[in-house]
């Protein structure tokens, strides 16, 4: 993988050039993407990219943008034939933040149709017989395969954290609306959250700081953190490798001086978790109303099923789901009051075999509904060498804490796994 921080350091020392950095990404894409299929569109003119590039903290950094994120110079097809060849007039706000910071938007990454459940052709770089996850399939795979240092994704259920876990990369789903979603195809206005993938947690923090102008620097002198553990029993069982890496994470944190304690999930969490699809799919029926009414025959099966079910959601049921979400957010204040952050599973298991599914978001969707920051930390591999991650979660607005604890865990795990 390509570390954005290390690449920027090499650029600053004059050991490489912006042109060479972009060319390296294009060469890696040419070498590997025929099999992985992470990208659906590329901007290959590196010289023109250099002419347009601004100086800034992300100068020389190539970024892949999920193909529901508008780009004025590349198609935005949303994983659907309905939008084949579609060229937006303007960049999404997130793309403009990246360009203003000096980054090069190198291409568009594969997504499930409208960021729901129907898989694209993308394969997991660690084993091409397995899914990379979704819906930000191409973004996770592109970073894992060393094609780009950074990639943008979105999460409505688990579409950033889960593919990051499956592909063995760091990722952050920030606090709700920390990154703008203007110019990103909407599925659920209450849940959609822009996020990013990177080679390591410090790389993710560096990128988030460059995009937002906030200080997410990670201190090596962090106080002894208090870390809660939740297994989200209401979400069901996990595969043994996930239990193994969570236990390893707890051990690594304790050895590093953290205080770790088990937490009990308030009942409001289970209710909100159960009702999450009513909010997400209920809002999607409105967001995708034009596509649903005028191009229904081109809507793929999983999305068709979700929208068909959503047609039966009445106003009372929808409003109760929204109220349940609010009660869960209130309960989250007490849940986090005695801890700095929480760790839990990033996914129910390693990446499933086959490309018929992108996996299950059951260990992610509650936190998306709560709007709190979540970070995936690569934490080990199963017997087949497939990556498994651990999820670090902090209170709303404490993205700095989520990144700090995640970085501490990442470093501690490197010592344990060495």
The set of residues, in sequence order, having a beta carbon less than 8 Å from that of 277 and lying 6+ positions away, is 306, 365
Residue pair 226/338 in contact by the 8 Å Cβ criterion: yes
What is the DSSP secondary-structure string of 65-78?
EETTB--TTS---T
Helix (H) or strand (E) holding 255: helix 240-255
Instruction: Extract the tokens encoding 53.
Output: 């590039």
User: What is the maximum span of the chain, computed from C-alpha positions, in angstroms?
Assistant: 62
Domains and CATH numbers, the chain: 4-212 (3.90.1300.10)
Residue positions annotated with a catalytic role:
66, 135, 159
Burial (Cβ within 10 Å: 0-12, 13-18, ≥19) of residue 240:
exposed
Strands 62-66 and 150-155: parallel
Instruction: Extract the tokens encoding 138.
Output: 């191409």
Each residue's pLDDT expressed in tens, for the chain with a length of 418 residues: 999 999 999 999 999 999 999 999 999 999 999 999 999 999 998 656 666 667 899 999 999 999 999 999 999 999 999 999 999 999 999 999 999 999 999 999 999 999 999 999 999 999 999 999 999 999 999 999 999 999 999 999 999 999 999 999 999 999 999 999 999 999 999 999 999 999 999 999 999 999 999 999 887 666 889 999 999 999 999 999 999 999 999 999 999 999 999 999 999 999 999 999 999 999 999 999 999 999 999 999 999 999 999 999 999 999 999 999 999 999 999 999 999 999 999 999 999 999 999 999 999 999 999 999 999 999 999 999 999 999 999 999 999 999 999 999 999 998 776 6
What is the DSSP secondary-structure string of 93-110?
HHHHHHHHTT-EEEEEE-
Indicate the pTM of the whole model.
0.97
CA distance 230 to 261: 9
Instruction: Provide the CA 47 distance to its chain's centre, in angstroms.
Output: 30
Instruction: Extract the tokens encoding 202.
Output: 């410090």
Residue pair 281/309 in contact by the 8 Å Cβ criterion: yes
Is residue 135 reached through a cis peptide bond, with omega within 30 degrees of 0 on the bond before it? yes
């Amino acid at each position: 993988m390509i570390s954005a921080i290390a690449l920027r350091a090499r650029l600053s020392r004059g050991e490489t050039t912006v042109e060479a950095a972009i060319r390296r990404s294009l060469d890696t894409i040419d070498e590997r993407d025929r099999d992985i299929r992470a990208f659906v569109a590329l901007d290959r003119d590196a010289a023109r990219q250099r002419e347009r590039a601004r100086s800034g903290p992300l100068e020389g950094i190539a970024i892949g943008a999920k193909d529901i994120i508008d780009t004025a110079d590349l198609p935005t097809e949303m994983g659907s034939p309905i939008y084949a060849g579609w060229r937006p007039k303007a960049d999404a706000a997130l793309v403009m933040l990246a360009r203003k910071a000096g980054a090069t938007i190198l291409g568009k990454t594969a997504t499930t149709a409208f960021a729901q459940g129907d898989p694209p052709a993308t394969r997991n770089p660690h084993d091409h017989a397995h899914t990379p996850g979704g819906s930000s399939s191409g973004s996770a795979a592109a970073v894992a395969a060393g094609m780009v240092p950074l990639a943008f994704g979105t999460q409505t259920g688990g579409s950033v954290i889960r593919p990051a876990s499956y592909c063995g990369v760091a990722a952050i789903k920030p606090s709700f609306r920390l990154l703008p979603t203007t110019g990103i195809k909407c599925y659920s206005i209450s849940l959609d959250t822009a996020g990013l993938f990177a080679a390591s947690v410090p790389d993710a923090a560096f990128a988030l700081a460059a995009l937002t102008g906030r200080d997410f620097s990670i201190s090596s002198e962090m106080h002894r953190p208090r870390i809660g553990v939740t297994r989200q029993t209401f979400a069901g069982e996990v595969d043994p490798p996930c239990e193994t890496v969570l236990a390893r994470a707890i051990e690594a944190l304790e050895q590093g001086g953290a205080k770790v304690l088990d937490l009990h999930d308030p009942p409001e969490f289970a209710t909100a978790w159960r009702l999450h699809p009513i909010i997400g799919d209920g809002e999607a029926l409105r967001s995708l109303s034009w596509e649903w009414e005028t191009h229904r025959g081109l809507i793929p099966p999983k999305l068709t099923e979700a929208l068909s079910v959503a047609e039966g959601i009445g106003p009372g049921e929808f409003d109760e789901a929204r109220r349940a979400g609010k009660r869960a957010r209130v309960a989250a204040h007490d849940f986090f009051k005695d801890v700095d952050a929480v760790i839990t599973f990033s996914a129910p298991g390693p990446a499933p075999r086959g490309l018929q599914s992108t996996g299950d978001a059951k260990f992610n969707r509650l936190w998306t509904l709560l709007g709190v920051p979540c970070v995936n930390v690569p934490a080990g591999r199963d017997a087949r060498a497939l990556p498994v991650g651990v999820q670090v979660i902090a209170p709303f607005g404490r993205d700095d804490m989520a990144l700090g604890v995640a970085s501490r865990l990442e470093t501690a795990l490197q010592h344990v796994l060495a």
